[in-house]
Structure 1
Amino acid sequence: MNTIEDLIGSVDSPLIVVTTSAEGERAGCLVGFHSQASIDPEHYCFWLSKANHTYRVALRSERFAVHFPTTGDSELARFFGSRSGSETDKFAGLDFTVTEDGVPLLADLPNRLIVERITMLDDGGDHVCLTARVLATETKGGFASLRPSQLGDLSPGHSAEERAIRP
């Protein structure tokens, strides 16, 4: 029997790292569900797992950075995807700056969007969709995106069963 994982696994969409902060608390996670959502005005959507520390911080955040890792960034992506921010300061020891709104920008991931939340949709699944207005685009030029198939097995910092059902 075929599953959605069989189909989506063949698509092998690029990965992103989303960072944000609220009330002095930084957060960031590896995200597999994301897409441009509008051309004019420029909107971008990404889905956060309700089990993640980043989701809990995102509930209080207005601004985010959407970083696009390259094929050479697998270790940093693996770091953001396999550790829980509720147990680890994911930014300790990393080279990053902070925007005037407090959003951490990872120096090693210079291809990014800076976005502002428009809305967050919780349809009852294990992820929420955050729709955001693009405020700025930063890039070092063309790059090859990092994809799930390039990371191999990755154990997330939290399983989907650990999600907050109703925040």
Structure 2
Amino acid sequence: MAAEGFETVVGALDYPMFVVTTTDGRRRAGCLVGFAAQCSIDPPRFMVWLSKNNHTFQVAAGASTVVVHRLDTSVSGLAELFGSHTGFDTDKFTRCAWHPGPGGVPVLDDCAGWFAGEILSRHDTGDHVGLLLRPVEGTSATGLGPQLGFQSVRDLSPGNEA
């Protein structure tokens, strides 16, 4: 009964969606992320959770930096690309515009709002691992469009299903 109530409540939320990219120096990776939040103001900290089934999780295990991209409704195609395809068999970066950012981590050109975060620690929380980030660089973009939320992407077929 408690699980059913929980699923009803969280299933109705429209939390923001992000694309997280990273590199371990050999491989690039990126995925759609819905579990993410600012978790401290001073010092500034952000937590992003990656599925253990995800290619990005494997690459991030050898990474020191990730880039968190804020998605707005104008880039829903990026949500589909990074949410419905797996890096185990698809190089998503050949299908979108990007440039190397801090530490060589891919920055998606079509996302006006992004920040790079140094991974301070990793936290196993179940089927996801949380990365605690210290922001080190980012955009100062203004006029960002309406945020893309979970309800807009809930019907995507996950690319990371084994």
Give the TM-score normalised by structure 2. 0.92
Residue of structure 1 in register with 2:45 after alignment: 43
Deviations 1:107-151 (A, max 9, x none): 00120111000000113x110011010112314214311012112
Corresponding residue of 1:14: 16
Q: Determine the C-alpha separation between the residues in 1 that align with 2:52 and 2:101.
A: 25
1:9 maps to amino acid: G
Q: Which runs of 5+ in 2 are unaligned?
A: none
Contact 1:24–1:102 (CA under 8 A) maintained in structure 2 = no
Structure 1: where are the runs of 5+ without partners?
163-167
- Rounded Cα–Cα distance in structure 2 between residues aligned with 1:34 and 1:100: 20
Q: TM-score, normalised by structure 1?
A: 0.90
- Report how many aligned residue pairs link the two structures: 159
Change in 2 beyond 3 A, CA 1:53/1:108:
same
Aligned residues of 1:115 and 1:135 also touching (Cα < 8 A): yes
CA contact (8 A) 1:65 1:114 kept: yes
SS in structure 2 at match of 1:73? helix
- Trace 1:88-167 onto structure 2 (pairs within 5 A): 88-123=90-125, 125-141=126-142, 142-159=144-161, 162=162
For 1:69, the aligned partner's letter is L
Is the 1:19–1:66 Cα contact (8 Å) retained in structure 2?
Answer: yes
CA distance in 2, matches of 1:45, 1:100: 18
Alignment-mate amino acid for residue 98 of structure 2:
F
- Match of residue 24, structure 1, among 11, 18, 26: 26
| More helix per residue | 2
Q: What is the CA deviation profile of residues 16-68 of structure 1, one whole-angstrom value per residue up to 9, with x for unaligned ones?
A: 00000012200000001000011011110000000000000000000110000
Check the 8 A contact 1:21/1:61 in 2, yes or no: yes
Report % sequence identity. Answer: 40
